[in-house]
Amino acid sequence: MIKATAKLLVALNGNAKKDQIAAGLAWGLLLGLVPTGLFWVTLFIVTFFFNHNHGAKIFGMAFVKLLMLIPGPNQLPLIPQAIDALGFYILNIDSLRPLFTSMYNMPFVPFTKFNNTLVAGGIILGVVLWLPSFFLYMKLIPIYRNKVAPHIRESKAVKKILKFPLLKLIDTAMKG
């Protein structure tokens, strides 16, 4: 997570294109919502065919996975409960049953566990949120670059930290 955060900060503060960073964060959201398994591995491999920032993807995925651990009122993780309910709803739509039956009878497809409520809910929620999150990140990245980053760079704490020779070297490398 530390390495992914560093790569994301380098991309945000460097000249990485904002659309690549936003796409990486959106892919991270999708991958973070899908439980780890064959479908997740397949989806992760598919992401390498698209142009995006991989550090942002790993950071986004790790961040969403951490959010998935936040307990709700009944001490069970809150987000997975919502994903499970969505998956249950999707898998019980009568008009989709023939599709799910034919998918289940295909070779290798049952190994993706698409018929698991968490997998189905995570896929649907991730796909639905991908585009809005992409556009949200596209709006937030310039705000970070133009307003937040200069304030952070000029803060007293950062200036003290950058007095250490090794950290100054890292900062110089990140700038350029």
The mean-pLDDT minimum among 37-46, 126-135, 153-162 falls in: 153-162
Rounded Cα distance between 176 and 145, Å, is: 16
pLDDT at 132 over 90: yes
Q: Over 60: is that where the pLDDT of 2 sits?
A: yes
Q: DSSP 3-state assignment of 1?
A: coil
The more confident residue out of 105 and 171 is 105
Give the pLDDT of residue 1. 58
User: Whole-prediction pTM value?
Assistant: 0.81
Question: In whole numbers, what is the pLDDT of the chain averaged over residues?
Answer: 85
Map tokens 């989709």 to a residue: 96
What's the rounded Cα separation, in Å, for the pair 87 and 89?
5
Work out the average pLDDT over 40-66: 92
Q: Is the pLDDT of residue 28 over 60?
A: yes
DSSP letters for 120-176: HHHHHHHHHHHHHHHHHHHHHHHHIIIIIHHHHHTSHHHHHHTTSHHHHHHHHHHH-
Mean pLDDT to the nearest integer, 70-95: 88
- Between CA 7 and CA 15, with CA 9 as vertex, the angle to 5 degrees is 90
Higher per-residue confidence, 62 vs 162: 62
Q: What share of the chain is helix, strand, coil (3-state, %, to 5)?
A: 75, 0, 20
Say yes or no to pLDDT of 60 above 80: yes
**pLDDT recorded at residue 171:** 61
pLDDT of residue 146: 86
Residues 148, 25: Cα–Cα separation, whole Å: 18
